[in-house]
Amino acid sequence: MLRIETLFNQQLKQWIEEVVELCQPNRVHFCNGSELEAASLCKEMVKNGTFIPLNDEKRPNSFLARSNPKDVARVEDRTFICSKTKEEAGPTNHWADPNEMKETLTKLFRGCMRGRTLYVIPYSMGPLGSSISHIGIEITDSPYIVVNMRIMTRMGEDVLAILEDGPFIKGLHSVGSPLKIGEKDVPWPCRPEETRIVHFPEERSIWSFGSGYGGNALLGKKCFALRIASRMGRDDGWMAEHMLILGLTNPEGRKKYIAAAFPSACGKTNLAMMQSVLPGWSIETVGDDIAWMKFADNGRLYAINPESGFFGVAPGTSEESNPNAMVTCSRNSIFTNVALTPDQDIWWEGMTKETPPLLTNWLGQKWSPDSPNPAAHPNSRFTAPANQCPVMDSNWEDPEGVPISALIFGGRRSTTTPLVFEALDWNHGVLMGCMVNSEKTAAATGKVGELRHDPFAMLPFCGYNMGDYFAHWLYMGTKTTPDKLPRIYSVNWFRKGEDHEFLWPGFGQNVRILKWIFERIDGKGKGEETPIGILPSQAALDLSGLNLHKNAMASLLKVSKEEWLQEIKGARKYFSLFGPHLPQEISDQCTRIERRLQG
């Protein structure tokens, strides 16, 4: 067993000693990432009531966890960017003075691990040894977090060998529930009234207290991979983005890689794992949530998926919407806050057309379709290893990354935004990313249909002033020649007709849009320039075998002068939030579109 005094990295050794002194755990365990270790922790959690083992014939080596009902999702109002100044954090982040926050956190963490084990988790975000990857160390008192981090990252002693005496991202997490001598633990310890998810960008560190939920406590995920990494990317000239990565192969066997950013409820994971309806065209997955991207010496932009698993939203995932995801979570998976069937399998809304009888809901109570609340929590999750996905790309763990040919931005819009259009150049494409907005759904707070601005789908995840983030995107476009930059596209699968029904069937049919993008990059796809960008002509899209409503394509590709002038007006109003941090080029791009519209 590894011990603190044997650590080669003196900075790591000192930090662990400081945390042990502050948190006062009963014991320290260095995680090696082995199957034996994971099995032992799962067995311990079954004994404690944290895990319910699932039917081993139906879902081998898989478990269900039920959280405290007050600890079910990311807590944006308790998530802080504690940069040195409030201006550095910007108007879209919650800021607190870093010194004052450190004082608060130190009081909360003092003695918080009494009666518990302190786990040291060494992990790599991205393939071990990749020049795009980075190493983190998470300290936690939650075995639930350990087994999830084992799925979501490359975790174990091999990481320490790579780290040697180099830098790493510090992540300190506690559920905030110390145990007295002889006190019995609860299945899901947490302290929701004191929860804080705090990022110190200059220190490259994260402190998370009081929550056991994945998005708040799996510190490699949103905390490191986006909030801290976005700041690292700005400082060091690369990009950490809330993007899926897929490989698209044509019938001749040529492949292009595409990265795409979508706000929540816009089908991101479904697109990443999509089954093509067009003969000869296939899609493979590199990642479904996060992309780290750097320019290589050849001038091309290369991307890795820094994660090694999927932390997917369960409700709505089915054989119809995402069959590949269903295969992925068929074994060796952890389910949180889903329903349980009488034969110890899991279920959630939308999983099957028929609702199984005699379900137990996510709260552990008997449930029927007549119950007022859903059986699975709307934010219930599955954690599954990426290497179990049947369509993982053969290059998904290539340390060099995959070359990105196109970037896509999308949102849920019933009007205004066409099915697809291409940016005129990089800076115009950056404006398209800045202008991403999406209609709220019933699952979100606020009025259904109301627009929520979510630039680059990064609103909750940008670790610094978003005006400066826009400028970083513009700067990245100067790091290579225009011909080597990825082309940028906007898509909208959600446009509706006068009958308020969707005009486009979505799901596997979306490959038709990706095919046009592929052909555009090859210089073969036909496009027509409009004031907002380049749209396909109806003849340019492959609609073979697709029965659309009459005039559907005309509506899907419509560009309304009046609607777009209002769109630009709304964007300018939103951009005013950023004051002098808004790059002048973004305002100039808005002006150019207005002039083209007014013709």
Which residues carry out catalysis? 266
- Please report, for the chain, how many H helices and E strands are present, in that order: 16, 30
Q: How many CB atoms lie within 10 A of CB 338?
A: 24
Strand order through the sheet with 339-340: 346-347, 339-340, 359-360, 366-367
**C-alpha pair distances (Å), 371 with each of 70, 313, 339, 352:** 20, 22, 13, 18
Strand order through the sheet with 63-65: 51-53, 63-65, 334-336, 381-385, 309-313
d(CA 312, CA 308): 13
Q: CA 560, 563, 568 angle in degrees (round to 5)?
A: 120
Nearest to 137 by CA among 116, 112, 162: 162
**C-alpha pair distances (Å), 45 with each of 63, 117, 303, 393, 398:** 10, 13, 36, 34, 35
Q: For residue 185, what are its two tokens?
A: 């633990």
d(CA 90, CA 223): 17
- C-alpha dihedral (305, 174, 145, 342), degrees to nearest 10: -130
- Contacts of 536 by beta carbon, 8 Å cutoff, 6+ apart: 420, 516, 525, 526, 527, 528, 557
Let me know how long the chain is: 599
Q: For residue 338, what are its two tokens?
A: 């889903």
Q: Which H, E and C letters describe 206-262, residue by residue?
A: EEEECCCCHHHHCCHHHHHHHHHHHHHHHHHCCEEECCEEEEEECCCCCEEEEEEEC
- Contacts of 488 by beta carbon, 8 Å cutoff, 6+ apart: 406, 407, 408, 409, 422, 423, 426, 428, 429, 430, 432, 433
b (16+ CB within 10 A) / e for 311-325: bbbbbbbbeebbbbb
Q: Which amino acid is at 464?
A: Y
d(CA 543, CA 546): 5
Beta bridge partners of 373: none
The answer to whether residues 133 and 126 touch, using CB atoms and an 8 Å cutoff, is yes
Between β-strands 79-81 and 196-200, what pairing exists: parallel, antiparallel or unpaired?
parallel
* Residue 61 buriedness (CB in 10 A; 0-12 / 13-18 / 19+): middle
